[in-house]
Amino acid sequence: MRRRPLTSRGVACLICGVLLMVAANVTTAAILLYIGVLLLALPLISLVVVHLPRRSGSVARTISTDLLTVGETSRVTVRFDLRALRVPDALWRDALPPSVSGDATGEYGRGTASMRYQVTGVRRGVSAIGPLLLRTVDPFGLAQREQEFGEARTITVVPEIVALAPLAVKVGAAGGSAHTRSSRLGQGSDNLTPRHYVPGDSMRRIHWRATAHRGDLMVRQEEEEASPDALVVLDRSGSRWARPGEEADPAFEAAVSLCASAAIRLVQDGYSVDVVDGAGHLIGALRGHEDDRDGLLVALAVIAPRGEARDLASIVGGAPPGPLVYVTGRIDEADAAALKPAGAAAPILFAAGASEEAVRAASDGGWHAMPLSPDADLAAVWQDALPVAGPRRG
């Protein structure tokens, strides 16, 4: 919000000056005319004093972490170098987006200054901190000037990660210790047709024999055609959730947090995990690398309800995973009865706002189903839904 050139005191001074000049004409009192002219002149002189001097500056902003989890605190350091002939009393303010909170204000000293403050993630999303705003006021407090300096710095607030209990029993291919290969790939990597390396491929996929033979980096094709050991589905169908607005939907935020936490828990258990939405679009793939985790969290930071879901069997395909975690929104009893586990060895369903009838219908269909409320303890809900650790509902 842009500030007015005059402060409240300056506006009051102008109004008093006009009133005194009117009163001077009515009463023919010369002294009132002189005072009125003075009160009119002071704000104008203050405007010139504050706005006329040219000034420029540079801003260097450092954030302790660019990936900030909801509820996590990060330190921001701003180095501000102002070049000006003279600067009256000034206050600085860093523009903060709605996704973070913090006290990014203070008094500005002379010359080069280093300012520090802390921000806390309050809402996931990709937004920008800055630019730096410098507010100066004349000595009488009549006129003010707010000027922007420097560029904004991007900060990403990712979903909150909750520590979840591990699966008590390993299920799926190799008990969560190896990938499930498609049967059409053959028995070894030497008889496969490798493909050229593209940016983003893991170095572990490099087919060194084919690379040495062709002189270009080649990767093993079977790595891409491997089926995941575990699958996490975030059903973000528009019909399942409240329409996106200025305020975050607590139910959807809880679902996104549970989706991220479940995926990380499964990869810690030794599974290769694919995270997809209800339409089958890949959100992220976890193969045990730190970059995979960051990539998933960044993708989840900006995800929103959209589109419609496909049949789960068409998403899973012909190679059912071991653990299958399905996180969805509002479903009724008919929706739950129609949702089939698609052959997964450990199907777990979480439904935000689901009725007892819907949970019971999903349990009857083979799911370990649990309702998910916006303020739920995600660790406790996960514990209750585990195939072995918690009782079956229904």
Phi/psi of residue 208, nearest 5 degrees: -65, -35
* CATH class, 173-180+227-385 region: alpha beta
Q: Which residue would you say has higher pLDDT here, 177 or 336?
A: 336
Determine the longest span between alpha carbons in the chain, in angstroms: 108
Residue 370 near residue 253 (C-beta atoms within 8 A): no
Per mean pLDDT, which range of 14-23, 198-207, 304-313 is the poorest?
198-207
Q: What pLDDT band is residue 212 in, cutting at 50, 70 and 90?
A: low
Task: Calculate mean pLDDT across residues 163-183.
Answer: 59
Statement: residue 109 has pLDDT above 80:
no
pLDDT at residue 207, as a whole number: 75
Other CB atoms within a 10 A radius of the CB of residue 330 amount to: 17
Q: State the Cα–Cα distance between residues 272 and 282, nearest whole angstrom.
A: 14
Q: Is the pLDDT of residue 394 over 60?
A: no
Q: Please, what's the b/e burial string for 115-145 (b: 16 or more CB within 10 A of its CB; e: otherwise)?
A: beeebebbbbbebebbbbbbbbbbeeebbbb
Q: Enter the DSSP assignment of 284.
A: E
pLDDT at 368 over 70: yes
187: CB partners within 8 A, 6+ apart: none
pLDDT at 361: 92
Mean pLDDT of 318-325: 83
Chain mean pLDDT for the chain: 82
CB crowding 284-320: b at 16 or more within 10 Å, else e = bbbbeeeebbebbbebbbebebeeebbebeebbeeeb
Please give the helix or strand (H or E) that residue 118 lies within, else none: strand 112-121
Confidence of residue 158 (pLDDT cuts 50, 70, 90): very high
What pLDDT does residue 15 have? 92
**Structure-block tokens of residue 377:** 């303890």
User: Which one is predicted more confidently, 307 or 289?
Assistant: 307
Looking at the predicted structure, is the pLDDT value of residue 176 above 60? Answer: no
Which pLDDT belongs to residue 309? 87
- What is the token pair recorded at 163? 């520590």
Confidence label for 242 from pLDDT (cuts 50, 70 and 90) = confident
pLDDT of residue 115 exceeding 90: no
pLDDT for 91: 85
CA distance 49 to 134: 16
Domain 55-158 fold: Immunoglobulin-like (2.60.40)
With a cut of 70, say whether residue 184 has pLDDT above it: no
pLDDT score recorded for residue 392? 42
pLDDT band at 88 (very low <50, low <70, confident <90, very high): low
Asked, as a colleague might, if the bond just before 131 is cis with ω within 30 of 0, I would say yes
Is the pLDDT higher at 379 or at 137? 379
